[in-house]
Amino acid sequence: MRRLLSAAGLALLLPLTATSVASASGGHDGGGPGGHGPGTCAKKAALFCEDFQSLPVGGAASLKWGVDTKHGTLTVEPAGGGQKVLHVHTEGNGRAFLRVDDFAPPGNGFYGRVRLRVKAFPTAPDWAHYTLIETTGAGPEIVRPLGGQYVPTLRKQLWGVGADGGPTGDWTNWRESAPSRAGVWQCVEWRMDPSDNKISVWFDGVPQPDLTVSTRSHGGNDVDFVFPRFDTVKLGWQLYQPNPTPSAYDLWMDDITLSTGRVGCA
């Protein structure tokens, strides 16, 4: 079962004020921002952790991570209740990612957790493909633990795990049981299990077995799906097709953690 595509384009969105950001990104539905309160990262032992609390409001920058953007921006913004979140904005088929480099998970396996809220998903063109989490390293596969597509035959936007660049080809293993939900906070967890090149996903603590992929069970060519030796994790947004509807995209992220054990959403 193949799902696919890749490309590039642009558009624009009026900047949000601090008040409108707090309204748009705040709330507690689906595990809202700052689920652990201020100082989340100070309390956790993790391979990587960012809760944005120690960063100033404005253009996002840190010595702990880099930025990968094209027709996009990353901004640290207030979200009410003393919380700060990362606002990801892109125009057209641009990209904007927080990039964790020099990442070396023991045994090439790890868990991830992020809280996120997406303003809107694409409704055109057909099969519009988006990525929110991408992992790469030594090896050809570009692995996408969280992405999705607009599926015109169902007139729905659906989450899917996917990959590109390797022998398995360009695929997104979307499932009708996992609709991409706009306008609500969700806590997303994923596991990269090297024992069977297996990716597992949870939404708000609930496992999503339909999204699981592994060495011989995936959405690409009938060859083995094999992890690269991971060294980079990117979180943000990329849309691949030009001239999409809507023409610009906004999402908010908080409480990013990469760890050797499952972090959870509590």
Give the residue extent of every domain in the chain: 18-259
Residue 13: per-residue pLDDT = 30
pLDDT tens per residue, range 190-215: 999 999 999 999 999 999 999 999 99
User: 10 Å Cβ neighbour count for 29?
Assistant: 12
Per-residue confidence band for 43, with pLDDT thresholds at 50, 70 and 90: low
Residue 40: per-residue pLDDT = 72
User: Is the separation of the CB atoms in 48 and 256 below 8 Å?
Assistant: yes
Q: How far apart are CA 220 and CA 141, in angstroms?
A: 12
Nearest one of 137, 157, 134 to 146, comparing CA atoms: 134
CB < 8 Å & 24+ apart, contacts of 198-203: 199/143, 199/145, 199/161, 201/145, 201/146, 201/159, 201/161, 202/265, 203/178
pLDDT tens per residue, range 113-140: 999 999 999 999 999 999 999 999 999 9
Q: How far apart are CA 94 and CA 58, in angstroms?
A: 20
Question: What is the pTM (predicted TM-score) of this model?
Answer: 0.88
* Assigned fold of 18-259: Jelly Rolls (2.60.120)
